[in-house]
Structure 1
Amino acid sequence: MSIPPPPGPHQPEGPYQPPSPYSPYPQGPYGPQPQGPYGPQTPYGQPPYQPWAQGYSPYNRPAAVNGLSIAALVLGILCFLPGVGLVLGLVGLAQIRKRGERGKGMAIAGCVLSGIGLALWALALVTGGAAEFWKGFEDGARDGAGISLVKGECFDAPGGSLQGETYDVDKVPCAGKHDGEVFASFELAGGGPYPGDSSVRGRADDRCYGLRDSYAMDGWAVPDDVDVYYLTPTPDSWALGDREVTCVFGNTDEKAGLTGSLRNDETVLDADQVAYLKAAHVLNAALDTAPDAEYVEDDLPGHKAWARRVAAALEKQSGMLRGHDWPTGAEKPVTALAGDVDEARTEWAKAAKAADADVFYTHYDKGFKLIDPDRTVTARKALGLATTPPPSDDTGLEV
């Protein structure tokens, strides 16, 4: 809010000097007064501040323009807050009659335009158009706040880097070389202020690694130099309502990039391939829950609980492998694989009941060899899946 300056000191007596015919604004003690589109204005929409002047003016001053009529016309033209524009126009007409001010035409025009705008808003509310408009506005604001990418799209990042901050990417066909491929996206829960980089990245890391198998079901088909990256909200975009995390596959060597799509899910694979991979994921998920302690001696109860989870997963996997109607060429190798799974389940179940670390290791080693990825190659080849096992640690086997 600004406040007009106080009147200046009186000027010396002298004859009245009419304004220059070449001056676009009437003169006052503070210099030319700006002329608005509908007459002189101030920040309050009222006639300009009139300073005290010396002498008597022989000329009749024109009546001031009513400020509310100006505001009513502006709101009517912009169709912004039409109800307010209508009220201001009606009040302005009453003030004009009472004070003898000018602006009747503007007040009437503002009332008419605001009335039309009010009718259009009412129609939009009845038909649901207002809700669609607001949703579009929110989507536009969100697109402006973050990068809009959807599952299955490929893109190039500025400088080819998938690290640090970026505010734009270039979408490109997946068939050619590119920097990243989107495999999932999700919304972070929570309102209020930005929770901090570590919190946002931690949640993004957990979810994105958990969602990768739903897009690239055959992990063996993903090159060894491909890893998971993600785009997260920034503090600025969070303030604008951005909560989206975009999960991306990218090459650990920025100069190498990716070529071709890594997607292999139900939209790409056949029913037999999907059935096999779903059974494999049951075991992989259990193997990924190994305790943090590297040695069994450091956490025997934790390792025994892990062995129970693996044994339960092997039992479920065996049922899924035996319950599917496999094609002729794959039936024999899959049945043999199911036999290995059953034997492995027995050993893992014994490890879960081990009295000490030595007994645990004995059954763990036997059970571990029975789920060696190399034992699955024959079945995978019969089903047309990738046959080169990816490198993995002792608890990250993929079958």
Structure 2
Amino acid sequence: MTDHAKPESFGFATAGAGVSARSSGVQRTKRHPLLRIRVQLPGGLACAIGLPLLVGMAKYQSVLPYDNVQNTVVAAVIAHLLGYAIYRRLGSFPGTAASRYILPTFALTYGLVFMAIFFLRLDYNRLQAAGSFTLSVLWYFGLTLVTRRLEIYRFGVVPGGNVAGLQAIGRAIWSYIPSPHVSVGEVQAVIADLRADLSAEWERYIADSALSGIPVYHVKQVRESLTGRVEIEHLSENTLGSLNPASFYIQCKRIADWLMAALLVIPLTPVALAIALIIRLESPGPALFRQQRMGFRGRIFTCYKFRTMTVDQQVGADGRQAAMTKQGDPRITRVGRWLRWTRIDEIPQIINILRGEMSWIGPRPEALALSEWYESELPFYRYRHIVIPGITGWAQVNQGHVSEVGDVLEKLQYDFYYIKNFSPWLDIVIVFRTIETMVTGSGAR
């Protein structure tokens, strides 16, 4: 597992390794053993489960007959397997360094499993459980450090069509194939614009590569997987179908959003009152800022935030220019700058979540004036309203705050990637990266 391009995103790891494609002039590269599941997972289980058992047996000679040890071993195995599955899944998303999610992922799975053990009133060995969790984290951190530079991903690119500019993406070596009869050595996959009008020789080359066990991918799929954006120069019937989010997860997400908001209302109320008082003391005006925004399926709603600007300079806040926040905006107060930097100004949007107007995670809702302007300037902008808007989202953790049309087009590509890959896994990645953003303050204005 490395922190560079993730071949698991395309399924490279599933193809047979080391199969020569002599007829096509390329070879499927061999993956290092330490990058394989059959090495990483058994090694992790042996380290996290076996070592604490050996230590216990060295001290007490026989520990397995005890119920508390047996319960701990079973729980630790379940937690470790879940942790590894989530860790690999999260690391497959673009721009995510897998090493960042080792500690929070295993803390989550071990915490949930042993919480279940506690509520079921099953006896367990605390030392064994703590040792298993610690060794799990250390094992995968160690693997990341060792394998970081073991493999550089190399793709063979078939010329023709929309393949220009792939080198700008980075995170891989792009070897453009000069001729169907020229070898470019070992590659992870062959990349081609499968919609281009390729010659019969190139089509034969692509077919031979696939038959030899080398994955062949459409260039648009690769761009999406490495950049985290969906190109939207046009929407075909197939694209529209792939951008329809799962309705079942939408309903589950709404229930989870409401429950989380309901649980947080009571503990956050004293904090919100204290912040509101500080805002009122610094500058005259209401503590809350209200603004009409475009929401789910194009419905207009009132969004609530803590006020971060002076009231006298917020006249016409529904206008397009007033709705834009620029870098170093003079309207922002001293307290407001800190609230924006930490994202605490978003706390009142719990009200919107409880009312079903917003989610914790989703495309950021824009001010009504901005949304109408973007719709007039950008094709398909309105399609982002197919999911419930959120307090944080994929575009926010990748791009930060933007307002100009050129930047909004890129933001829209991030939003479409989120809609296309709408899943709890991507939401977990966004949660982890939002916490990082809150700590560092990156992207705030």
TM range (shorter): under 0.3
Larger radius of gyration: 1
Q: Which of the two has greater helix per residue?
A: 2
TM-score normalised per structure 1: 0.23
